[in-house]
Structure formats: C-alpha cells, structure tokens
Amino acid sequence: MRKSLVALSVLAATALPTVVSAADYSDGIHKNDYKFLQFNLMGAINEKGPYESTHDYLEMEFGGRNGVFDLYGYVDVFNLTSDSSSDKADKDKIFMKFAPRMSLDAVTGKDLSFGPVQELYLATLMEWDGGKGGVNTQKIGLGSDVMVPWFGKMGLNLYGTYDSNKKDWNGYQISTNWFKPFFFFDNGSFISYQGYIDYQFAMEDEYVQTSNGGAMFNGIYWHSDQFAVGYGLKLYKDVYGFKDGEALPWDASATSDSSGVGHYVSVTYKF
C-alpha cells in the first residue's frame, strides 16, 4: 500500500483550516504519539522497473510517532508460494524500506512553521533488497508536513542519495504523500484517495541510464477499523534511472520496461 502517511492520527485532517496551525509541544513532546501495524496481501500487475512484472507479495507495513521521532516503514515478501513460474522466482525474496524522521521543531523547542508548512524534520530513508549487489541506499535531507487545500496534511521530503554499493552520493529524490478520506459511511468506514510521488533527479550517468525518473501512485481504498480493500494505479517514467526501451547494463539482449502504467490490488488486516 506504501502510504508513507502522517497516518492514522491525521485521518480527521480532511480539509485546510482557515489558519494553518504549527506543531505544538508546549505541554510535552508525546502528546501526538500513535502507532499502527498492518499486513497487506498485494497483487501487482504490469509493475515497471528494469523488467515488467506481475506478481503477488505480502507487505508488513508499520509506523507511528514517539516524541521527536516519526517513522514509516514496510517489509515486502515476494512469491509467497515459491512458485517456480512466478516473475519473482529467481529474484530477491525481500525488499525493505524504513523512513524515520526527527522533528526539528521538537528538538529545538522553536516554532519553525511558515506559510503552509506546519513542521520541519531531519528526514532519512533507507532501502534494502537483501541481495548481493542489490539495492542498498540511504537518503538524508529536509522533511516537512504541509497543509494543502482539500488534501489536508501531506508529507514533503527532499533527500540526497548515498549508494552504499558504490560508496558514493548519487543524485536527489523529492517525495510527497497524501491520505485523503473523502466519503464516509454511517458505520464509520470511509473511502480514501491516497498515494505518493517519488521523483529522482541529478543522478550521474556513470551509475544510471538517465539522470531523472520516478513514479506516482494513486489509490482508492475502503477502510474500516479492522480491514481495508483497495486498488492503485501507478504511473512510471524511467523509474529508478532506467531508460525505457534501452538495453539493460547487465544484459544487452534485454531492454528495460521502466515507463507506463501498473496496477495494484490489496486486502489489508489492521492490528
């Protein structure tokens, strides 16, 4: 599902208030603490990347806020049945992402809000796939919570990327995410529009085929206290720095399929 949201504590933030309120720590840094954990059974159809892939996977998704820190993360486990015919049969079994942020407002004790920006963070993002020579990157930069008309609170982060395999910095990433409940049922369940944008730029040609690329996820989900069901449409453009239609660096006989549209369906159980 990859919400990377301000998550469950801001479901009520469904509209832009007349006056944007700053982060308030006057009566303690733990006043906004929360946590969530859920398991998502996912189906990916025409997922893009170096190759196009259609596969299933299980995602453990978690996050929350504790004092000066907030956290979002997930662990994906691919090809659950170990099907030899699966697109993921000979690929890495696990992918992990952790995105802790530290509130600069809370650490400094100062109100750093301005305009639509409610709060500033030291933002980090770590990604691994567990394979030898596979994804192993760390990102660090400036994060923020901003108030946007209709959407309410959104995350917006700018990172520099360090590639631990190459032992070098390589480009930047700007990421934003949103979670907008827009239709409520009498029983308390609701439908949300949720998603994210990850866009990489200024990457060096030495390591990638193109200097920029990214993806946008657009999901419509039904939520109750215990379950969620949803569909997501993901738009790709030269994602991960692979130039669509060009020969892959490690396999001249194959071309990358890194642009286009992918589809995702999911069923969620919330703890």
* Eight-state DSSP code of residue 50: S
Q: Residue by residue, what is the 3-state secondary structure of 138-168? A: EEEEEEEEEEECCCEEEEEEEEEEEECCCCE
Domains and CATH numbers, the chain: 8-270 (2.40.230.20)
**Greater model confidence, 18 or 73:** 73
Query: Per-residue pLDDT for 22 more than 80?
Result: no
Beta carbons of 152 and 13 less than 8 angstroms apart: yes
Confidence bin at 25 (pLDDT 50/70/90) = confident
CA distance 137 to 256: 21
Q: Are 214 and 256 in contact (CB under 8 A)?
A: no
How many CB atoms are closer than 10 A to CB 131? 13
With a threshold of 0.85, does the pTM exceed it?
Answer: yes
Cβ atoms < 10 Å from Cβ of 153:
23
Which residue blocks in 22-132 are alpha helix, DSSP H? 104-108
For 189-246, the pLDDT digits (tens) are 999 999 999 999 999 876 678 999 999 999 999 999 999 999 999 999 999 999 999 9
- CA–CA separation, 103 vs 25, rounded Å? 11
pLDDT of residue 39: 98
